[in-house]
Amino acid sequence: MFDMFDMFNEEKKDEQSEEVSSPVPTATYSPTGNFFSISIGGSVLISEKPDVAKIAKFSESINNLAREGYKFALVVGGGKACRNYQAAAKALGANNSFLDEIGIKVTRVNASLLTQTIDSAYPTVLTNVSRVPEIVEGGKIPILGGLLPGITTDAVATLVAEKMNGTFINLSNVDGVYSADPKRSKTAKFYPELSYERLISIIQVAETKPGQNVVLDLPASLILKRSKIKGIFLNGDDLTNFESAVRGGEFHGTLVTEEISEAEATTTGKRIPRKKVEIYEGEEEDEEPPNEHNINF
């Protein structure tokens, strides 16, 4: 799972721009059915060690929504604990493939915790996306971690959303998609809505190497685009906001869908389909390449 930070270098020092304040726009959308594939960043529930209180609150939220008839698959990331293991393995001479394998194991351990707190959880962590439909149809919630080296947990969650023709939700430790880490860059831009193409253009400046912190990996974004899967990026600490998004109500975050109106994207955050419209008029892509990081499961 990827935290939403370190997508770009900080923008040029001489660029004149106001400091980013907490974004005001909220978005609305129509969910695709009642199935949601949730990618839960390790930073939300695990960090350096499992946060029992957060796991319990998130599980209660899922349990309440499930009783209302919503269906889920949950894909759990690794968090800082995963990065610590990867750093240790790298220091001991491990190659990138082994680092990915370490990440997969940690995510599966993290995922196993939710099998104990979700009322209708399937009792074991899945290692195969193809089993998701039968488990959901049986009234259970499948829970997954990583699957294969080089495939992030975000990508796993988009594959699940694609297979189930559902909606993809990314829960992380920030409130949506920014052009840079808003805690580090005063000129970071918040995107209330993005087209698939714009999201991909943001991601393409980053290389996918073990440990990289980006908004989403390129394979995951391409899966969203090819099957026109609605993607929602939210702060995982705001469960009221998360529940509103699942129910199709107003939410604060980033909606990724087809082409959108510039005016709506920069004001209300509500979507009006429109062809080939840039999010910000006159906006230029960052010219400098991002810092190199590793994939963070």
pLDDT, tens digit, 9 for 90 and up, residues 53-109: 999 999 999 999 999 999 999 999 998 989 999 999 999 999 999 999 999 999 999
Residue 67: the pLDDT is 97
pLDDT at 289: 36
Residue 237 token pair = 């600490």
The model's pLDDT over 114-123, given as tens digits with 9 standing for 90+, comes to 999 999 999 9
Strand partners, 232: 169, 255
- Domain 35-266 homologous superfamily, CATH: Acetylglutamate kinase-like (3.40.1160.10)
pLDDT in tens, 36-46: 999 999 989 99
pLDDT tens by residue, 267-296: 434 433 333 323 223 333 333 333 333 344
Report the C-alpha dihedral over residues 275, 279, 281, 282, rounded to 10 degrees.
-100
Pairing of strands 143-144, 167-172: unpaired
Q: Give the rounded percent of residues in the chain with a pLDDT score beyond 70.
A: 74
Instruction: Give the integer Cα–Cα distance in Å for 171 and 68.
Output: 21
Percent of residues, the chain, with pLDDT higher than 90: 59
Q: For every residue of the chain, which 3-state class applies, written as one string? A: CCCCCCCCCCCCCCCCCCCCCCCCCCECCCCCCCEEEEEECHHHHCCCCCCHHHHHHHHHHHHHHHHCCCEEEEEECCHHHHHHHHHHHHHCCCCHHHHHHHHHHHHHHHHHHHCCCCCCECCCCECCHHHHHHHHHCCCECEECCCCCCCCHHHHHHHHHHHHCCEEEEEECCCCEECCCCCCCCCCCEECEEEHHHHHHHHCCCCCCCECCCCCCHHHHHHHHHCCCCEEEEECCCHHHHHHHHCCCCECCEEEECCCCHHHHHCCCCCCCCCCCCCCCCCCCCCCCCCCCECCC
Residue of 253, 39, 270 whose CA lies nearest to 162: 39
Quote the tokens at residue 262: 């510039």
Question: What was the pLDDT predicted at 239?
Answer: 98
pTM > 0.95 = no
pLDDT confidence of residue 189? 86
Least confident of 189-193, 228-232, 234-238, 245-249: 189-193
pLDDT in the model for residue 60? 98
> Can you tell me which residue has the tokens 């499992």?
50
Task: Please write the tens of the pLDDT for every residue from 239-253.
Answer: 999 999 999 999 999
Mean pLDDT of 208-217: 58
User: Residue 225: is its pLDDT beyond 60?
Assistant: yes
Provide the pLDDT for residue 169. Answer: 98
- Long-range CB pairs of 55-59, under 8 A, 24+ apart, other chains included: 55/113, 55/114, 55/117, 56/117, 57/239, 58/236, 58/239, 59/114, 59/117, 59/118
User: Biggest alpha carbon distance in the chain?
Assistant: 58
Predicted local confidence at residue 137, as pLDDT? 97
Mean pLDDT, residues 123-152 taken together = 96
Q: What is the pLDDT of residue 285?
A: 37
Ranked by mean pLDDT, the top range of 17-26, 107-116, 214-223, 278-287 is: 107-116
What band does 177 get if pLDDT is binned at 50, 70 and 90? confident
